[in-house]
């Protein structure tokens, strides 16, 4: 396989074959994100993607169980081309159980439900989507490129098409100024489409991203560990979903995992217990290898 630059994947795709379908991100404006700031966006040729699938076949054989197609927002690929890629992947790897892509609401909204259904029928089983927040002011501040209503419409579209939706919330991205709004409005938006997975990441400033300079200048105040836990607690309290909620990322101050609504009381108790741990025992505010 050929990879252009650093390739990012969700931790849940650690065992997946990674085939780069896009290079960079077509949006690339989110102020907190430093992943693709140095990459010029392009969609790779279908022939090149197929060649990389063949390379994967030569290395791993036909038994590959899951494939993830990075880089950013690979759902943007034209539906007919994506179907061709998905079909070829399933032809090479008949035991495939999961094929996934990244797709923020802005790009999911470029597909009709009928197109999403066709993608699901061709093998697309899950979309990883970073909504980050349900608060309109925060979404504007971070230049996410979607409104809460668009996030809801995109979520409903994916669910209607029968594709699993893994939705990402960026804990602390409202800073100390909007942590309550972030928690409550994110819960409200998530309640509207009930994703299969809610995955938590905690905002950690990175130098490659525009928000870094706001943080350094003191115009953006990070949440401390206890505040971040309180924000998650408030959001979970107000969630009325049937999602799995998972904090499967090094950025988080506390590792929680459960199924809602049945595990809600247990999750809240875990957060309360973590909130009693002295702040000095948590990770430092910055993480060098993010």
Instruction: Name the residues that contact ligand SF4, by CB under 6 A.
Output: 25, 27-30, 33, 35-36, 72-73, 104, 130
| Nearer of residues 157 and 233 to ligand SF4, judged by Cβ | 157
- Nearest-5° angle of CA 47, CA 49, CA 52? 110
| Nearer of residues 35 and 108 to ligand SF4, judged by Cβ | 35
For the chain, strand residue ranges (E) read 17-18, 22-23, 42-43, 66-69, 98-102, 126-132, 164-171, 197-202, 244-246, 257-259
Bond preceding residue 261 cis, omega within 30 of 0: yes
- Look up residue 75 and give its DSSP letter: G
Shortest Cβ distance from residue 144 to ligand SF4 (Å)? 7
| Nearer of residues 27 and 185 to ligand SF4, judged by Cβ | 27
Scanning the structure block, which residue is given the tokens 């995109």? 154
| Nearer of residues 233 and 249 to ligand SF4, judged by Cβ | 249
Shortest Cβ distance from residue 154 to ligand SF4 (Å)? 13
Measure CA 286 to chain center.
20
| Nearer of residues 209 and 241 to ligand SF4, judged by Cβ | 209
Shortest Cβ distance from residue 30 to ligand SF4 (Å)? 3
Q: What is the DSSP string of 182-251?
A: HHHHHHHHHHHH--SEEEEEE----TTSTHHHHHHTTSSPPPPHHHHHHHHHHHHHH-----EEE--STT
Q: Is 100 helix (H, G, I), strand (E, B) or coil?
A: strand
Distance, in Å, from the CA atom of 152 to the CA atom of 156, rounded to the nearest integer, reads 6
Residue 175's alpha-carbon distances to 32, 36, 205, 285, in angstroms, are 12, 23, 11, 13
Shortest Cβ distance from residue 107 to ligand SF4 (Å)? 8
Shortest Cβ distance from residue 36 to ligand SF4 (Å)? 6
Q: Is 263 helix (H, G, I), strand (E, B) or coil?
A: coil
Shortest Cβ distance from residue 72 to ligand SF4 (Å)? 4
Shortest Cβ distance from residue 208 to ligand SF4 (Å)? 11
| Nearer of residues 8 and 282 to ligand SF4, judged by Cβ | 8
- Look up residue 5 and give its DSSP letter: S
| Nearer of residues 23 and 229 to ligand SF4, judged by Cβ | 23
Greatest CA separation for the chain? 55
């Amino acid at each position: 396989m050929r990879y252009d630059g650093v390739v990012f994947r969700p931790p849940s795709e650690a065992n997946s074959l990674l085939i780069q379908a896009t290079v960079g991100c077509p949006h690339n404006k989110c102020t907190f994100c430093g992943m693709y700031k140095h990459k010029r966006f392009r969609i790779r040729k279908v022939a090149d993607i197929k060649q990389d699938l063949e390379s994967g076949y030569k290395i791993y054989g036909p038994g590959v169980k899951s494939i993830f197609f990075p880089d950013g927002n690979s759902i943007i690929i034209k539906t007919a081309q994506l179907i061709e890629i998905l079909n070829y992947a399933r032809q090479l790897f008949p035991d495939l159980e999961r094929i996934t892509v990244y797709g923020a609401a802005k790009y999911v909204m470029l597909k009709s439900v009928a197109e999403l259904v066709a993608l699901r029928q061709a093998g697309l089983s899950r979309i990883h989507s970073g909504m980050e927040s349900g608060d309109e002011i925060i979404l504007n501040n971070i230049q996410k490129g979607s409104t809460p209503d668009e996030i809801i419409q995109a979520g409903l579209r994916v669910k209607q098409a029968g594709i699993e939706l893994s939705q990402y919330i960026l804990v602390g991205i409202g800073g100390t100024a909007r942590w309550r709004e972030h928690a409550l409005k994110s819960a409200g938006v998530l309640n509207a489409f009930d994703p299969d997975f809610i995955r938590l990441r905690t905002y950690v400033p990175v130098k490659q991203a525009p928000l870094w300079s706001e943080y350094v200048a003191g115009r953006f105040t990070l949440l401390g560990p206890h505040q971040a836990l309180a924000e998650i607690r408030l959001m979970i309290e107000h969630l009325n979903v049937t999602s799995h909620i998972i904090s499967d990322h090094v950025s988080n101050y506390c590792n929680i995992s459960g199924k809602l609504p049945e595990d809600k009381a247990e999750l809240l108790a875990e957060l309360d217990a973590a909130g009693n741990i002295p702040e000095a025992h948590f990770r430092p505010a910055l993480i060098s290898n993010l």
